[in-house]
Structure 1
């Protein structure tokens, strides 16, 4: 009689996760889809206006100064969009990342290691490719971080246009990738793109940030179960933190991430009883997500994407600039190489296998989609070269061209899998026992 124990089943990566997480991610992506469509529309309007006979009015509007100079807050409308409105976007990035690692599926190392490693690979490989292309030019080498980010809003807008029923596992993977590499991008901005650091405003920023953190963490004790009171205190503290960080020379969007990290993502209990009502993170998510997706990011895209190409000769000059070449190659090739290659390497090192519901072509399609590096890439381009400079204009052309090419390539791959995705979506909707949880999620939990 053979007493050899049966081999242990190999662990899998990129599984469905929990049903709660799938619902939450699905809701976020539905909001981002609308935002992505508005973003694309704003960018197209900006491009048309900037290359029309009325182009001077576009640039005059973008460069119109607004604000109070004694507080160092007299900025152009374009700068307000980049420094102010994008802080709301990065606030949600910080909030989402904290939720994922504190209360979401990614608090488990087995689930977080793949998307985090893939995000790091998706940042490192494009940066190296851009640097290699621009190695001989110190002036253009400064833009090495431009192709590191993924624009989740643009990406899900592409999915909506092609009608892809991307499985929940891939949707979670894509969102996690985008959030983690946005965090890496803001870290790069804070470390490499901050100039003329003023220590006093930076130290002063710690005071409202500390007060904001304490009040947010103990909001039920200070404000009870009525969230309206929290708004009148936390919002001014957050704005003061933003203003002081901006005055310190560190890019003000960094304040958005810090403020997002300060919000508690686990519901607190009132008077020792059960948690009453939605938590502060859920309230802020509900209030700020539509503002970010529907206003902040599209307005930034409108003021940032407008570049005067200058006809065919100007376009040819732009796309042959090493800046644009480096961005296009890094986003279109570097992103999928970094993401797919790192994911494959992690499975080999951990002796895991891809979840049985997916194939490597699915990961490849999502990796191509991650090459859409629109919003944060435009921001880093402006920080690298200065808004309106020749390299900034060429970088914008490269970002637009690369994002469009990545969207087309990803669509061509994912469309071929649509029939399989549609079948998976129907399977994930079956709830035979009518307990409110689809059967496949219950089966996954039992495995």
Structure 2
């Protein structure tokens, strides 16, 4: 339990603290809160949101009516959501990459087949419920909220895993099933963000710069040293690169890739994803919540360890800048997001998991019952972090976005639902 709680305290408690401050601040003094969120840090031509759009939306509030011929504004919100959150998504990508590429990766082989199929259900179920209810509420509501269909597809890996252990016990096979599902959900979420939520006009040719940065840094600082060290167990070239250059070439490549993503129109918070696979990695992984994971010294894990504390602070500011919604903003998007999570997730995961286990004969882990799929679905309905992020990019700032964010925040109710579902399903806790 130590490693799980340590992970949650590292990556989630500061996020919650920031979100709580934001909620109180936005409901006590909304004007000063939004003034802080959209504060302009730098008018420039390199990094930031479109200057003319920012000026039209916020210029009057800041008593700015002209910014010359600059094209971009680096606001506080852009700095956190579009620049710094790239490190958070890099850590998520690292876990997904290891799960897929390593020989003992958790998303490889037959053991991952049923969770992967269940993950598909855990995404299609919420989408169906969200869009179906939006259609039922009328065309006006549907047109206003349809872009938020991906918000309820997310699963907060840290809190879901923690609640899963509370409901099932550390040794229950459903906990590992839940973790595989959550990792696969993260992977799908990154793809959805990249494809369906561009941050501007698309210029896909700019991605060639990102690809070039990834290929060059891999060849020069990963593949070439290992090639030169063939048949030499001392590995002098790889050791020199590791000790003298460390992560710096990859950070430079990451900056180039991030800029290329910004210019391509894809969300720049995903800009480090092409660089993550280029870092030298261990031959095996112990799993995101394994105590042994902290002792791996390969460059990929070393970079993750270095990012640990900065990402804690980044998540605090992410919560502070994104969770500040007024309670009177609760509306149709709030209930649509909640319905997608609390109804669509459990139903989708159960149906697809059942089909995979029985008609497709992929089976369930030994000791896991069919009814446990419903409970796993309830636990996976905790969206929070990624749901909040998707809500911030799915809608422009305003009542619809605020209402959708409230649904993401309320998804913590899934923890209570999960505990009740576990009692009804008579889940027998298994200690590990």
Identify whether the pair has TM-score above 0.5, normalized to the shorter chain: yes
Q: Say if 2:182 and 2:380, in contact at 8 Å, map to a contact too.
A: yes
Please identify, of 412-421 and 187-196, the stretch whose mean Cα deviation from structure 2 is larger: 412-421
Equivalent in 14, 29, 35 of residue 38 of structure 1: 14
Q: Runs of 5+ in structure 1 lacking a partner?
A: 1-22, 269-276, 429-447
What is the CA deviation profile of residues 199-242 of structure 1, one whole-angstrom value per residue up to 9, with x for unaligned ones? Answer: 55433333322223334533854552634512222112212211
Q: TM-score, normalised by structure 2?
A: 0.79
Structure 2 residue aligned with 1:15:
none
CA contact (8 A) 1:190 1:254 kept: yes
CA 1:397–1:211 in 2, change beyond 3 Å: closer, same or farther? same
SS of the residue corresponding to residue 381 of structure 1 reads: helix
Instruction: State how 1:21-420 maps to structure 2 within 5 Å.
Output: 27=3, 30-52=6-28, 54-67=29-42, 69-73=44-48, 74-103=73-102, 104-106=104-106, 108-135=108-135, 136=139, 137-156=142-161, 158=163, 165-167=169-171, 169-194=173-198, 195-199=200-204, 201-215=206-220, 217-218=222-223, 221=226, 223-224=238-239, 226-227=242-243, 229-267=245-283, 278-292=297-311, 294-309=312-327, 314=328, 318-319=330-331, 321=332, 323-386=333-396, 388-401=397-410, 403-414=411-422, 420=428
Shift of 1:68: 5.5
Say which is worse superposed, 358-367 or 181-190, in terms of deviation. 358-367
- Tell me the CA shift for residue 45 of structure 1: 1.5
- Could you say if the C-alpha distance between residues 418 and 76 of structure 1 is closer, same or farther in structure 2, counting changes exceeding 3 Å? farther
Distance (Å, rounded) in 1 between the aligned partners of 2:30 and 2:224: 49
Q: Is the 8 A contact 1:186 1:253 kept in 2?
A: no
Q: CA deviation at 1:356?
A: 3.7
Q: What RMSD, in angstroms, separates the aligned Cα atoms of the two structures?
A: 2.9
- The answer to whether the 8 A contact 1:62-1:77 is kept is yes
Q: Is contact 2:250–2:275 with CA below 8 Å preserved after alignment?
A: no
Given that 1:265 and 1:280 are in contact with CA atoms closer than 8 Å, whether structure 2 keeps it comes out as yes
Separation of aligned partners in 2, 1:129 and 1:100? 30
Q: How many residues matched?
A: 379
Between the aligned partners of 1:143 and 1:95, the Cα distance in structure 2 is 26
Instruction: Evaluate the alpha carbon distance shift between residue 33 and residue 333 of structure 1 in structure 2; reply closer, same or farther with a 3 A threshold.
Output: farther
Unaligned runs of 5+ in 2: 49-72, 227-236, 285-295
2:169 is paired with a residue whose SS is: coil
Tell me whether 164-173 or 78-87 shows the greater mean CA deviation.
164-173
| Normalised TM-score (structure 1) | 0.76
